[in-house]
Structure 1
């Protein structure tokens, strides 16, 4: 049996893919997200997870943990498996809709195992991948914030 297909989302995970910043991203360089209200934003939660453990999580992990950490009060640890099942029983937007590549200048780079890490838009690695100089990595754009 062969592994998951490469260069596309399988389930909700990407493999060997860069989610590049959206065409209308206002950030010229990667910015650490902040909150104007004091409450953690989706961008802040995702940034904290991905910067704390680069390459440790899949897209599904990030989506579920983002939702879970924003619940008040946060559910008990024993509820996680049931809640994760319920969460993914509904349709979910992928990380192309994340505010990190849409507004904050962070590319999201997935390896061959579907693990994701941050890739700043101003980095040489990001530039090389977007220019097609890194074989085997597919580039997809984050969703635009505004209709085009």
Structure 2
């Protein structure tokens, strides 16, 4: 089974992120976007879920089955999936993502004191969210 999890890592916002202060993703009409679902799950439950758990929960919600279905999860992760470096949270909305030593994640907005602390923390691995344009 493939994984998208990181450990002791901070994903900084993309170099070409258009915001200077983190924004909460908006709804698209009557539906929640993937970015909003990611934001809500992680923001409401900091350091509770791994990247794999968040991504699979959203997949299950969008496809109307239980996020606790082990066979569906194995099928979903049988091929590679984009990690949170490709998430709109870091690319567009200004959210850095910290993974602790258990791989559990939390969000920190650009411009916040905690975001700056994580950027400067030499004990963490640092990666950037993917750029929006090549």
Q: Return the TM-score normalized by structure 2.
A: 0.92
What does 1:1-148 correspond to in 2, within 5 Å?
A: 11-71=3-63, 74-76=64-66, 80-130=69-119, 132=120, 134-147=121-134
CA distance in structure 2 between the partners assigned to 1:146 and 1:65 by the alignment? 28
Q: Distance in 2 between the 1:49 and 1:59 partners?
A: 11
Gaps of 5+ in 1: 1-9
1:127 Cα offset (Å): 1.2
Q: Which has the larger radius of gyration?
A: 1
Q: 2 CA distance for matches of 1:144 and 1:38?
A: 28
Gaps of 5+ in 2: none
1:45–1:69 Cα contact (<8 Å) kept: no
Paired positions, count: 133
- Check conservation: 1:16, 1:109, Cα contact below 8 A: yes
Residues 86 and 21 of structure 1: CA distance in aligned 2, closer, same or farther (over 3 Å):
same
Classify 1:84/1:29 alpha carbon distance in 2 versus 1 (closer, same or farther; 3 Å): same
CA RMSD of aligned residues (A): 1.6
Deviation at residue 109 of structure 1 after TM alignment:
0.4
